[in-house]
Amino acid sequence: MRGAIRPAVSAAAALGVLAGVAAAPASAASGGRDEVRWSPLSPAAAGECTFPSKNVAAVPWALQRVVLDQLWRGGITGKGVTVAVIDTGVDATNPQLQGKVKAGPVLLTDPQTKKALPGGSTLDPVGHGTKVAGIIAARPSPATGFVGLAPDAEILAIRQNDSEGSGDVGTLIQAIDAAVAQHVQVINISQDVRASSASGAFADQGKLADAIHRAASQGIVVVASSGNDGKQGDTFPAAFPEVIAVGASDRNNERASFSQYGSFVDVAAPGVDMLSTVPRGGQCVDNGTSFSAPYVAGVAALLRQKYPRWPAAAIAARIEQTAQRNRRDRDDFTGWGVVDPVKAVTSDAPPATAPAPDPQTALASGSLVAQPLTLGETQADRDRRTATYVLGAGLLGVVLIGGGSVVLRDHRRRRTAG
């Protein structure tokens, strides 16, 4: 999050993906229409994930880096917080999501009837939105080691996109406004705009910025994925200043190779081999910044429960300030660092409006602390060494004299007795 909204910023590289890699040229894919698309990096695209799927007993690596008992200490579990998932729908039948998914609007229409697609927003034929929701709020289950970071949070499902990339900027704006109208506290957008023009700018860019501003002005924390093209350049809505732009990190807290990077990236979060819920039950593994964003949205839900009156900028600053950094300042690859859920939630620092670099060390600043240079032994060292030698020699002398006296006495006694 980078301060106040700027009007109609230039979209240098608005590449339009929901979970994935760069798609075909916009003119071929969209016929001149600005789209909000997805193109999965995931094993699911290769048929390795079926709905339903098996339960995975192991704790996924992205949760192994979190001590959940510390994270949820004091009952901070996301209770009372609603997170809007603007996506492909959220399947409400997965046992880890049952009873916590609210039905929002369906913003996709049948091209023939021009009516909303059937099934409601709690249907997810793609599975993408269900995975996103699970990372945020899946409840614990004895059948799996996977759980959401905010397991008591609720999800508002808004079905705005599909496997064909039917969503566009207009429906994304409608989705954001619908979330605001439902008084959610956090919005997750795991997608970005694909521009139809060669310049990279897109129609209704200013209107999308205004929708983000309307949400932020209500205290809603807006989180968006940075994109999966693996190149440098802004993506939207992540690059809008009032959004927490999230890139993907790997097990080494480095930028994942597919993660879009640039000055707009605020933080990174795990995005490689991400386990999460799928429609009708079970879990599957997927990859992409689409699954990094909800990791941050889950942390935002915990912070919103703990600090219900903080402005959205303060929630963002806490997440950024407490991130695990590879350097003292931000960089264009992981932003302010890789999010640290426990540190973000348990820190008692006062609210801030923006993150700050770590304190500069004396070595980094070039101001070295002077120390006396000693070559060899000092006079004090020599005095102590001499005293040690004298004491040791004295003790040895006492032992020798005492021992000699005993030997001489015994010798005399034997002679007298003989």
pLDDT at 46 (0 to 100):
40
Asked whether residue 11 is assigned to any structural domain, the reply reads no
pLDDT at 1 (0 to 100):
73
Same domain, 135 and 201: yes
- Mean pLDDT within 233-252: 96
Same domain, 378 and 338: no
Q: What is the pLDDT of residues 170-201, one digit of tens each?
A: 999 999 999 999 999 999 999 998 666 666 67
Q: What is the pLDDT of residues 315-371, one digit of tens each?
A: 999 999 999 998 889 999 999 999 999 999 999 999 998 999 988 754 444 544 444
Q: Of 346, 381, 398, which one is at a domain's C-terminal end?
A: 346
pLDDT at 328 (0 to 100):
87
**Residue where the block lists tokens 């989180």:** 223
pLDDT value at 39 more than 80: no
Same domain, 251 and 395: no
The DSSP letter of residue 359 is: P
Q: Of 328, 346, 364, which one is at a domain's C-terminal end?
A: 346
Same domain, 254 and 192: yes
Phi and psi torsions of 338, nearest 5°? -90, 125
- Mean pLDDT within 409-415: 57
Check if 128 is active-site: yes
pLDDT value at 279 more than 70: yes
DSSP β-ladder status, 243-249 and 267-270? parallel
Asked whether residue 190 is assigned to any structural domain, the reply reads yes
Phi and psi torsions of 380, nearest 5°? -65, -40
Give 114 or 64, the one with higher predicted confidence: 64
- Mean pLDDT within 254-258: 97
Same domain, 124 and 70: yes
Same domain, 255 and 161: yes
Same domain, 126 and 200: yes
- Mean pLDDT within 2-8: 40
Q: Catalytic pick from 87, 91, 162, 168?
A: 87
| 196: number of Cβ within 10 Å | 21
pLDDT value at 414 more than 90: no
- Mean pLDDT within 277-296: 98
Helix (H) or strand (E) holding 187: strand 186-189
Asked whether residue 105 is assigned to any structural domain, the reply reads yes
Domain that holds residue 401: 372-418
pLDDT value at 379 more than 60: no
Contacts of 397 (CB under 8 A, 6+ apart): none
Asked whether residue 52 is assigned to any structural domain, the reply reads yes
Candidates 320, 324, 318, 336; CA nearest to 252 is 324
Asked whether residue 65 is assigned to any structural domain, the reply reads yes
Same domain, 98 and 149: yes
pLDDT at 118 (0 to 100):
87
Of the ranges 165-169, 203-207, 247-251, which is most confident?
A: 247-251
Q: Catalytic pick from 42, 53, 128, 234?
A: 128
Helix axes 293-306, 312-321, angle to 10 degrees: 120
Asked whether residue 113 is assigned to any structural domain, the reply reads yes
Provide the number of structural domains found in the chain.
2
**Residue where the block lists tokens 């034997």:** 414
Same domain, 330 and 410: no
The radius of gyration of the chain from alpha carbons, rounded to an integer in Å, stands at: 31
pLDDT at 164 (0 to 100):
86
pLDDT value at 22 more than 50: no
pLDDT value at 53 more than 70: yes
Q: Catalytic pick from 30, 121, 196, 290?
A: 290
We report the CATH number of the domain holding residue 206 as: 3.40.50.200
pTM of this structure = 0.80
Mean pLDDT of all residues in the chain? 84
pLDDT at 216 (0 to 100):
97
Helix (H) or strand (E) holding 64: helix 61-64
Asked whether residue 232 is assigned to any structural domain, the reply reads yes
Asked whether residue 119 is assigned to any structural domain, the reply reads yes
Same domain, 303 and 403: no
pLDDT category of residue 372 using cuts at 50, 70 and 90: very low
pLDDT at 395 (0 to 100):
60
Helix (H) or strand (E) holding 29: helix 26-30
- Mean pLDDT within 14-41: 43
Phi-psi region of 230 (alpha: psi -120 to 50; beta: other; left: phi over 0): left
Same domain, 294 and 390: no
Same domain, 319 and 413: no
- Calculate what percentage of the chain has a pLDDT beyond 70: 74
Q: Is 333 helix (H, G, I), strand (E, B) or coil?
A: coil
